[in-house]
Structure 1
Amino acid sequence: MLRKGKIFLWNSEKAYGFIEPIKGGKVIFAHVTSFGQRHPAPKVGEHVKYKLGKDPKGRPRALDIQYIDRKPKKSSSPASPKRWFGGLLVLPIYLSWILINHQSKTGLLLLIGWQLLLSLVTHSAYQKDKVAAQSNDWRVSENTLHFLSLIGGWPGAIIAQQSLRHKTKKLSFRITFWITVLLSLSCAVFINSNLTFDELPSLLNLGGVRSDIQWSDPQ
């Protein structure tokens, strides 16, 4: 038989508290493991239903505790094919472009290797932030996620957003994210199209010093 009560006291650090029966009487001990829904933590004043049981020492305690006012959290639905297609369409277009227009095979391999590595790191950062969000733990800052995208990890960010269903609703984040993608793409396209290793010496001539001057020791 389920009884009704409300959270009378709760210690978040020790993960236990007490329930005050609606019909009156002594408060009942309640541990977080007896809750069907553990996150977020119980709050004082919340109404619950519970079964009255006993601990190993014979003392009364609440079991199978359920929230009355809270609605069950809906599970995230998988990304629709349309969302996947829209978000990932940029990846094959970008890859095809750099494969066709690359100026240096070595530079191409370095660029792909760099972005692959950063994509793995970025995907891991999104996954860590997703888990932290679900468990009320320390989050990965949005600035960190944007920085990883900016320096080349945006392919991993796109895959993580769609596969994990994370960071897809906050408009300000989405706008900033796509700005970092455009900036990263611009840099990658410029480097891939214009820079070869033979051009590196000329790039060092940034101060306007003539590269054709030959220096010699004074006589």
Structure 2
Amino acid sequence: MRLTGKIINWHADKAFGFITPNGGGDKIFIHKNALTNRNRSPKINDIVSFSVVKDNQGRYCADQATFAGEKVRNKHKKQVTPPIAKLSIYLPVLFFVVLTVSYFLHYLPQKIVFIYLGLSIITFFAYAFDKSKAQRGQWRTQESTLHLLALLGGWPGAAIAQQLLRHKSKKTEFRVVFWFTVVVNTAVLGWLMSAQRELLLSLLT
């Protein structure tokens, strides 16, 4: 069943707000990802039609929301996974395979592999924590913090989290900066493995 309501507040910087149903009742949380038309920025007093679902914490939130006058899109329409999404899954796996092989061939110390693995796990949970706070309407983790974790070596965990958690996977500006951190991090690692290999081994072994 679909409901109609009015957006009573909207936080553009955090991409979420709340709806008051026309029939009365508690206000409903809505995230920008719940909008079928994400090219339009919601404004206060906009009328929207939406369905209600429960999030991972069992709380009610809006889903498949459309602005007044727009058609409801078929939620079950088959979606084609974009190449960049597949890359976000395959690249981290390939990266860790290369790290592991490099370690066994004595091109990298074991500590480097563990550093990347540890930072990736930390970054993955940082994304999960940030998404949880977004769903609850709480204060978010700064994007600069997520980018710093990726730059330091947690980018494999970030890439996987973006796709598995469907978090920070649509915002173009964020994605551009993220992939820039990936290029910088891997370039520095490649330089250390070649020009500074002996120095790196002496420092970490």
Q: TM-score range by the shorter chain?
A: 0.5 to 0.7
Structural mapping, 1:42-81, within 5 Å: 69-72=48-51, 73-74=63-64, 80=81
Matches of 1:79 and 1:114 in 2, distance apart? Answer: 35
Please provide the CA RMSD for this pair: 4.3
> Runs of 5+ in structure 1 lacking a partner?
7-18, 22-29, 47-67, 202-219
Structure-1 residue corresponding to 2:15: none
Deviation at 1:119, TM superposition (A): 0.7
Q: Aligned in 2, Cα 1:81/1:178: closer, same or farther, shift over 3 Å? A: closer
Structural mapping, 1:97-176, within 5 Å: 97-101=98-102, 105=106, 107-176=108-177
Q: Aligned in 2, Cα 1:79/1:136: closer, same or farther, shift over 3 Å? A: farther
SS at match of 1:138: coil
Deviation at 1:192, TM superposition (A): 3.1
Structure-1 residue corresponding to 2:198: 196
Q: Which structure: larger Rg?
A: 1
Which range moved further: 184-193 or 104-113? 104-113
How high is the TM-score relative to the length of structure 2?
A: 0.58
- 1:39 aligned to 20, 29, 34, which one? 29
Matches of 2:147 and 2:200 in 1, distance apart? Answer: 32
Matches of 1:181 and 1:198 in 2, distance apart? Answer: 20
Which range moved further: 85-94 or 180-189? 85-94
Which range moved further: 114-123 or 102-111? 102-111
Deviation at 1:133, TM superposition (A): 1.4
How high is the TM-score relative to the length of structure 1?
A: 0.55
Identity, in percent, stands at: 30
Q: 2:107·2:197 contact (CA, 8 Å) conserved in 1?
A: no
Q: Aligned in 2, Cα 1:126/1:195: closer, same or farther, shift over 3 Å? A: same
User: Which contiguous aligned blocks of 4+ residues in structure 1 show a shift greater than 6 angstroms?
Assistant: 75-79
CA deviation vs aligned residue, 1:177-214 (integer Å, no higher than 9, x gap): 0000111111222223432358749xxxxxxxxxxxxx
Which range moved further: 140-149 or 103-112? 103-112
Q: Which amino acid aligns with 2:50?
A: K
Q: 1:103·1:196 contact (CA, 8 Å) conserved in 2?
A: no
- Paired residue total: 155
Structure-1 residue corresponding to 2:35: none
Q: Which amino acid aligns with 1:163?
A: L
Q: Aligned in 2, Cα 1:199/1:69: closer, same or farther, shift over 3 Å? A: closer
Matches of 1:174 and 1:69 in 2, distance apart? Answer: 28
> Runs of 5+ in structure 2 lacking a partner?
7-20, 31-43, 52-62, 66-74
Q: Which amino acid aligns with 1:71?
A: F
